[in-house]
Structure 1
Amino acid sequence: MYRAFRTTVKRLAQKLTGQSDVRGFVRQQKLWLSKRIYRRPVSIAELRQRLIDLGVTPGRTLWVQSSWNEFYNVPLRPSEMIDLLRDLLGPGGTLAMPAFPIDQNPDKLFLVDRAPVYTGLLCEVFRRYPDVRRSIHLSSSVCALGPNADFLIRDHHHTIMPWGKDSPFCRLAELDARMLGIGAGFEFMTALHAAECLLFDEVPFFRGVFDGTIRYRWQRANGETGEHEYRRRIGDIRPKRLRRHFGPDICANARLSNLRILAADAKPFIERAVTLGRRGITMYIQPVPKPELFVPSKQSTN
């Protein structure tokens, strides 16, 4: 019934707007309006200092999710933004970004070192940087550059849970990484998904957000090939439902002209998501989060 209702609403919105991609149309309209409201240029020096204030410091591991559409007041090209981040991190720092493939057809060969990403222009430019390492994962691949890059990405294709133990996302927490959402808010923070993976065995509800597995073949540029299988997520989410539970003790917020930046340390961020999940507080609306589904399983290994 819920899915039928959503389909009806979607069709009505498509008819009213004359657009097949209603969400994309709404985003375009918001961006159009934002450009007329926020016109103050952001200097490179100003951006640099704000990033330092938010914890981008030498030697750290930094995770960045972004929307390049929001950089219209920043006088930098994507490559220059990447260079700025790398300069702040120094030679001992590691930069990582999502590299989720555009084409996730499991019947096709996943070309790890060539497949373009849908996670934004900054991520795609970063993927093409010299010496960048990319994890092998058809749905949730990650790119990284720096001393901790290998540790972050090397075991992703050995995991059954996309965002669970030994994935780059949980390893961000192990490295005490800083996470930034630049022009991409709280709802885009992929680390939220670590909760359903870490609680899969413990809390029955989270077993319901996965259905079966996906198996695919992969190949690296050096000719190395293999197969990987991971659990398929089917649940429907509304991440903003969790935002009020991540206060200033977890998430810092800043703004430069139109550009919003969210910053958080990976470990407490993921720990908070897991704690909330145990309490039955989740971003999932489908399956319906009924209280009885959050009673811990007796066979829990966590």
Structure 2
Amino acid sequence: MSVNVELIKKLTQAFGPSGSEEKVFEIIREEVKGFCDEITHDAMGNMICVKKGKGKKIMVAAHADEIGIMVTHIEEEGFLRFTTIGGVYVEHLVGRRVKFKNGTVGVIGVEHLEDKKDFKLEKLYIDIGAKDKKEAEELVKIGESGSFVGEFVEAGDRLVSKAFDDRIGCYVAIEALKNVKTENELYFVFTVQEEVGLRGATTAAYSINPDFAIAVDVTATGDIPKAKKMAMALGKGAAIKVMDRSIIVSPFVRDMMIEVAKENNIPYQLEILEFGGTDAGAIHLSRGGVPSGVISIPTRYVHSVSEMVDKKDVEASINLLIKILEK
């Protein structure tokens, strides 16, 4: 199965900070509408694509949102003050560009600092080129969110872009939805607001009440110079999660996923992430508990505008998800 680079590019470049995932959903709907029995949105905003069946009820979750910023104040001179949405590294923001839903682009700047120790979010602003507050308000309103600008680059087997977290997970779920053949009833849920607390997955899991669930998300790697020691690298296959800060995967689920990978000669790695979590963290605690696993796509420079993945890992993740759902 070859990777659809153009679709991945569309997904990653789409505007979709937490709470504003509509553009991403439009792309996904066009891709999957001929491959599922119904597409709905719940009260939280999650997009749920159902493939009906008579077997087990299985939920697949991939979050559609990305990290970003939200405008909190507009200065008289036309500069925007803002807060962050999700896990944004504030120390990396100066000079970055931000795009708003209407296409307005701004540059993040910092006030003059007498001491670098004074560097903090309150010292940053966004310059959208407005001459004053009135002109700025014609372009951007208080409460509007923005996404970071990060162009898509294909470099051999490696792909670079903003928002691989978690548009690459969405892509894996899309391709699995298109190609899976099973009697089980499948709920492919493209969740909202994962980056601000697994919110969409929490409500979707309660409503669907699945027998089993798989989350698809990114994970960090330990294969760059002087990286924190982590047995995870680009190009070595799909990552089967063992533990993160939101879940310790049941040994039964973990071993089943490993068995499926081995049976189908799918390259895999075992993932222990010492920070962060995924939608599975919320799903496995729903109601009386849901057996849940996670397929992770190894990704360098997570939560930056230049996240990097390997095509071979993406292919392995798609194949593993399909085979698990068919099992």
What TM-score, normalized to structure 1?
Answer: 0.26
Between Structure 1 and Structure 2, the one with more helix by share is 1
Between Structure 1 and Structure 2, the one with more strand by share is 2
